Structure 1
Amino acid sequence: MKTTRQQQEATRRQILASAVDLMTRQGFDGTTMKDIARAAGIGDATIYKYFPTKDRIVVGYLDDAVQQALDAALQTPGFAGYQLQEKLQRLTDAVLEHLLADREFVAQVRTLAQRSPLSMLAEPLAARQRLREAVASFLEAAEASGEIEPCDFKGVAGSLYTDYLAGVVTYWLGDTSDEFADTAQLVDLSLGVLVQTLRSGLVNRVLQLGGFVLRSQMARMAQHRSGLLGLLQLARQTVGSAPRREQAGEDAPPAPARKPRAARPSAASASKKRKGTP
């Protein structure tokens, strides 16, 4: 009997859930495709119709998690009226919220990515393309409202954001502060620096330096936690003190007031959701 699309999607999700559970308990190397198939209640050969390798299962999990987080962020009440920084913060928070329940598994994924980076980067993830489009739309809306100066690198901003997001997740995995307060500060400071830079019209400097910093330095700096936060605080103060360019004979309009941020998961809810989180 031919399976429907809904049945196929249900099987796919069951495979992912079983893989996450097994790999969390047994490790990536200690889990086989046969183990996952049997835990998912499907035949040993059937699993290969959905995922040819364990690496693809991991990538499938990440793709689903990010897409669900993006959907959740876009469906936030009043999201369309958020300012640029609030939109990016809400999206970043949503990703961390979706990864929270599987935090120990995500830590294994990070180790796998460091061991075999090409297996992660080579995949044409649908979530990656959606992130690029979403960030570009955020920038377009900010331009249209006069919140930021016009910028001509909206096409690459999404790619930079995915690199930034990977750095935030790496930092979050090592964050032992109460309710991940250090990660919240990192996100607030770093996105604050970005938006203030865009408001100041320093777009060319962002274009020249942003890709290098995010791609080459974020993961390394995340290991020096206090130093990274201090650098971001200094950067925000420096960029925030730069005068904004005047527009056609009149002062640039002041930036509208920020909307309150979405609440982060509490320590109590985090402890209930986490599976063996350190």
Structure 2
Amino acid sequence: MRISKSQQDKNQRQLLAAAVELIVSQGYERTTMKQIARAAGLGDATIYKYFPSKEKLVLGYYELAVREALAQTLKTKGLADYGLQERLQRLVDAVLECLLPDREFVAITRGLARDNPLLLLGDALPGKAALKAQFEAWLAEAEAAGQIAACGFKGLLAGLMADYVFAIVVYWLQDESAEFSDTTQLTDLSLGLLVLMLESGLINKLGELGGFLLRNQLARLLQGGGALELLSLARRGLGAAREARP
């Protein structure tokens, strides 16, 4: 018997909720697909109709979280009047808000990326394709409105910005500051720097070099103690340069 799309979504969410609870309570390795299916109130074989493996189930959790964060962001009142930086900030905040209730689960399962390096390539990261598409659309809108200089590689930049969101999540998991204030500051500084570079046209001059540095060094930079100071200095420098232009 075929079930409705709404019932399929409900079953999927039940499986994900059960997986989060079990993995947090007993660990990733000790949790089995059968346990997850039974905790969700579904048949042992039913789970495989939604997720062919435990790894795919975990990735499905992140895919859903990103989709929900995007939906929440696009429903934000007055979003059409937001500038580019405000839109980017709202989306990063929405991703962290969606993950916050399951922060322990996120901390446990982030190791999947380390154990599966292919996830870090292309659009294999869960939710990356959706993030990339939204970032590219926002960049195009900002360019058309004259808010940023013409950018000849919006697709590449949008992909790097999607990677940036996942790097922020890694930083957030390690953030022990009150109410994650360090993550808030890092996000504000880094997005402010990016938008200044886009407004000035400097991003076009960095080109492939900037892409290489962002993709290969961003995670290491975010884990370093001087990341906030470096970003603050760079942002102040670009801001001063913009104000000095005739």
Band the TM-score falls in, shorter-chain normalisation: over 0.9
2:93 is matched with which residue? 93
Q: Distance in 2 between matches of 1:125 and 1:117?
A: 10
* Matched residue type, 2:160: L
The SS at the match of 2:77 is coil
Of 165-174 and 231-240, deviating more is 231-240
CA RMSD of aligned residues (A): 2.0
Mapped to 2, the partners of 1:113 and 1:126 lie a distance apart of 11
Q: Is the 8 A contact 1:197 1:240 kept in 2?
A: no
SS of equivalent to 2:241: coil
Structure 2 counterpart of 1:216: 216
| 2:61 paired residue number | 61
**In structure 2, what is the equivalent of residue 268 of structure 1?**
none
Q: Deviations over 1:87-136 (max 9, x none)?
A: 10000010000000000111112122112232575775773222122111
The TM-score with structure 2 as length reference comes to 0.93
Query: Which amino acid in structure 2 is aligned with residue 65 of structure 1?
Result: A
Instruction: Look up the match of 2:234.
Output: 235
2:5 is matched with which residue? 5
Match of 1:200 in 2: 200
Q: Which stretch of the first structure deviates more once superposed, 118-127 or 74-83?
A: 118-127
Tell me, yes or no, if the aligned pair for 1:186 and 1:229 is still in contact at 8 Å: yes
Counterpart residue identity of residue 236, structure 1: R
Output the amino acid matched with 1:204.
N
Query: Cα gap change, 1:119/1:82 in structure 2, threshold over 3 Å: closer, same or farther?
Result: closer
Q: How high is the sequence identity, in percent, across the aligned residues?
A: 52
Superposition deviation, residue 62 in structure 1: 0.4
Do 2:152 and 2:204's aligned partners in 1 also have CA atoms closer than 8 Å?
Answer: no
Cα displacement (A) at 1:138:
1.1
Structure 1, unmatched stretches of 5+, are 252-278
* Equivalent position of 2:78 in the other structure: 78
CA shift in 2, pair 1:120/1:27, >3 Å: farther
Secondary structure of the residue aligned to 1:149 is coil
2:239 corresponds to which letter in structure 1? G
TM-score w.r.t. length of structure 1: 0.83
State the shift of 1:139 in Å. 1.1
Q: CA deviation at 1:73?
A: 0.7
- Look up the equivalent residue of 1:187 and give its one-letter code: T
2:26 aligned with 1:26, yes or no?
yes
The answer on whether the counterparts of 1:33 and 1:54 sit within 8 Å (CA) in structure 2 is yes
Q: How does 1:127-206 map to 2 (within 5 A)?
A: 127-206=127-206
What displacement does 1:4 show? 1.6
Q: Which amino acid aligns with 1:21?
A: E
Distance 1:119 1:231, change over 3 A: closer
Shift of 1:241: 2.3
Residue 112 of structure 1 corresponds to 112
Count of residue pairs brought into register by the alignment: 246
- Is the Cα contact below 8 Å between 2:149 and 2:199 reproduced in 1? yes
Answer yes or no: is the 8 Å Cα contact 2:157–2:211 preserved in 1.
no
CA–CA distance in 1 between the matches of 2:218 and 2:233? 16
What is the distance in 1 between the residues matched to 2:172 and 2:10?
30
CA distance in 2, matches of 1:126, 1:203: 27
Q: 1:221 to 1:182 in 2, by over 3 A?
A: same
* Counterpart contact for 1:201–1:245, Cα < 8 Å: no
Q: Distance in 2 between matches of 1:124 and 1:231?
A: 30
Higher relative contact order (CA 8 A, sep 6+): 1
Q: 1:276 matched to which residue of 2? A: none
Shift of 1:215: 1.5
Indicate the residue corresponding to 2:52 in structure 1. 52
Greater per-residue helix proportion: 2
